[in-house]
Amino acid sequence: MSGDTEDTGETLGTRGDIWGHCGDIWGHRAAPAAGMSSDLDVFVGNTTLIDEEVYRLWLDGHSVAEAVARRLRGGVLEREGTSVAVLQSDTRDHYRTFQMLERLLHVPPRLLQQLLFQIPPERQALLVQRYYAFDEALARELLGKKLSKGTKKELDEVSARTGVGIRSCRRQFDNFKRVFKAVEELRGPLAENIQQLFLLPPPLARDYAAIVFFANSRFETGKRRLQFLSFADFAACAQSMMGHWSQGALAPEAAEPDGDLPKSFLQDLKELKVLVTDKDLLDQHKSLVCSALRGKISVYNELEASFKALSRALVNVGGKLTHARDVRDFFVDLVEKVIEPCRSDKWSPGDLRLFLTHYTAAPRNLPGFRHQALWERYMAAITACLLRMYHD
């Protein structure tokens, strides 16, 4: 019917890309075949029509032609008894709408206030939620990376690795970056800030909080030995860390953003080193833990053998958090020095849990150890992280 044959467009990048591309399609080439070609074809409803299927295709970064092809494969034609031309026209209408909506989706509260599109609230929520939903594989790749132009340039590889379309990658990357920028300077709990600014459902807001937290602290997550950890693992860890360590956890009206771990707390962690540097304390700690666990865990012998190494690793991880470079290695250290040894000794997750519980509780009975509160606050997050990460 029209010159859609040209719409092979593999890449629709930015807005400019799409329109430039579509400009070709909708331009003024006379169609070769006799008949009519539609130069202009729009449908505007007083209530904006949102087709969820097309929205998904658009979010996935498909061009109009690809989207039409996919819809065809979905069997719309048979169901509705319509023609390809109609499908194309419909898809374009939706794409145009989404294109216009995209500007507003970048600032979701504006979507609620704007007058241009009349969209029922539940539809608006759906639009926002879908727009900010992300592929975990992609997020996993980007965790801890700086959300910069450089990273954006690497998205091609990421796209290839994850199988997520490049345009979708870019959109998701931009979402991360936008959220990051918006909450970077804000005080108070990260997840709540995100939820408020972007009107996301709480679980999604928490995931974004984790992404921001990782991007902010730049934790290394790309190492090979960390590959077994999923995005969900890291997100859980981030939540535990923010939950237990950040100032918001202690005083909600705290002055620093949740994304940054409070400096004073990190400084204080150095005090805990006494647990491993003081030989007496180390020995007493070990005996307390061992006596509590004797007969209760299957790997008692291994525990006895490796206690000091484990304890040293656990305490030192915290001690290093004051230095940015060492912060990066937090997860590497945990895996390398705690998880891997335990795994090679065939600890069960239950064993690890028991051990960590008693390991955390024991210093209470250590004479001369005054940092019990600090220790428990520190170990709460560490325990949560380790338990989450202890799998294959």
Partner 1 sequence: MPGKLKVKIVAGRHLPVMDRASDLTDAFVEVKFGNTTFKTDVYPKSLNPQWNSEWFKFEVDDEELQDEPLQITVLDHDTYSANDAIGKVYIDIDPLLYSEAATVISGWFPIYDTIHGIRGEINVVVKVDLFNDLNRFRQSSCGVKFFCTTSIPKCYRAVIIHGFVEELVVNEDPEYQWIDRIRTPRASNEARQRLISLMSGELQRKIGLKVLEMRGNAVVGYLQCFDLEGESGLVVRAIGTACTLDKLSNTSAFLPACNSPSKEMKEIPFNEDPNPNTYSSGPSTPLKNQTYSFSPSKSYSRQSSSSDTDLSLTPKTAPSPQGPRIFLFPSSPTLSCDSPHLKKSCLLLSGSSIKPLHSSHVSPVVLRKSVSFTEELLLAASGMGSGSAGKEGGPFKTLLRQQTQSALEQRGGSPHRFCRRREFPFFTLTTFPPGFLVHVGGVVSARSVKLLDRIHNPAFVGIMGNTRSYKLLDWNSFNSDEPETRDAWWAEIRQEIKSHAKALGCHAVVGYSESTSICEEVCILSASGTAAVLNPRFLQDGTMEGCLEQRLSWQPGFFSIGSEKGEVDFFPQSQDSSSLLGIEEASPPGCGFCHIPYDELNMPFPAHLTYCYNCRKQKVPDVLFTTIDLPVEAIVVGKGCLIQARLCRLKKKAQAEANATSISNLLPFMEYEVHTQLMNKLKLRGMNALFGLRIQITVGENMLMGLASATGVYLAALPTPGGIQIAGKTPNDGTYEQHISHMQKKINDTIAKNKELYEINPPELPEEIIGSPIPEPRQRSRLLRSQSESSDEVTELDLSHGKKDAFVLEIDDTDAMEDVHSLLTDVPPPSGFYSCNTEIMPGINNWTPEIQMFTAVRVSRLSNINPTNQTLNKNFNDLCENLLKSLYFKLRSMVPCCLCHVNFTVALPEDELVQIAVTAVAITYDKNQALQANKAPTEKSQQRASTDNEEQLQFPLELCSDPLSAQPFSPAKEVLEGASSHSGIPAAQRDRCNSWIELIKLKAQTIRRGSIKTTTSLEKASPLAEGYLRHRSVPSCTNSTVSVVKMTPLSFLPGAKITKYLGIINMFFIRETTSLREEGGVSGFLHAFIAEVFAMVRAHVAALGGNAVVSYIMKQCVFMENPNKNQAQCLINVSGDAVIFVRESELEMLPVQPSTAAPQPTSSAGDVTT
Q: Which is nearer to partner 1, 22 or 293 (CB)?
A: 22
166 forms part of the interface with partner 1 (CB under 8 A): no
In contact, 119 and 108? CB cutoff 8 Å: no
- Residue of 4, 66, 93, 351 interacting with partner 1 (CB under 8 A): 93
- Which of the stretches 60-68, 78-86, 192-200, 224-232 binds partner 1 when contact is defined by CB under 8 A? 78-86
**Residues 337-376, interacting with partner 1 (CB under 8 A):** none
Amino acid at 373: A
Q: Which is nearer to partner 1, 116 or 160 (CB)?
A: 116
64 CB neighbour count, 10 Å cutoff: 24
Distance CA 347, CA 298 (A): 8
- Residue 30: φ, ψ to 5°: -70, 135
| Residue among 10, 7, 13 nearest 169 (CA) | 13
Structure tokens at 170: 């870019």
CB half-sphere exposure, 141, CA atoms < 13 A? 20
- Residue of 54, 59, 67, 87 interacting with partner 1 (CB under 8 A): 87
89 forms part of the interface with partner 1 (CB under 8 A): yes
- Residue of 80, 157, 280, 340 interacting with partner 1 (CB under 8 A): 80
Structure tokens at 22: 């579509």
Number of residues that bind partner 1 (CB under 8 A): 51
**Residues 291-330, interacting with partner 1 (CB under 8 A):** none
Q: Which is nearer to partner 1, 81 or 163 (CB)?
A: 81
- Which of the stretches 84-92, 320-328, 368-376, 378-386 binds partner 1 when contact is defined by CB under 8 A? 84-92
Distance CA 372, CA 332 (A): 26
Cβ neighbours of residue 77 closer than 8 Å, sequence gap 6 or more: 83, 84, 87
- Residue of 5, 11, 14, 82 interacting with partner 1 (CB under 8 A): 82
In 143-269, which residue ranges form alpha helices assigned H by DSSP? 149-153, 155-162, 166-184, 190-198, 202-217, 231-245, 247-250, 263-269
3-state secondary structure of 246: coil
**Residues 41-70, interacting with partner 1 (CB under 8 A):** 41-49
- Residue of 66, 90, 220, 258 interacting with partner 1 (CB under 8 A): 90
**Residues 7-46, interacting with partner 1 (CB under 8 A):** 16, 19-20, 22-23, 26-28, 30-31, 34-46
- Residue of 75, 81, 295, 368 interacting with partner 1 (CB under 8 A): 81
In contact, 124 and 150? CB cutoff 8 Å: no
Task: Give exposure, 275-301, as e/b (b: 16+ Cβ within 10 Å).
Answer: bbeeeebbebbbebbbebbeeebebee
Site string for partner 1, 112-131 (x = CB under 8 A): -xxxxxx-xx----------
252 forms part of the interface with partner 1 (CB under 8 A): no
- Residue of 69, 72, 85, 361 interacting with partner 1 (CB under 8 A): 85
Applying CB under 8 A, the residues found at the interface with partner 1 are: 1, 16, 19-20, 22-23, 26-28, 30-31, 34-49, 80-83, 85-87, 89-90, 92-93, 96-97, 99-100, 110, 113-118, 120-121
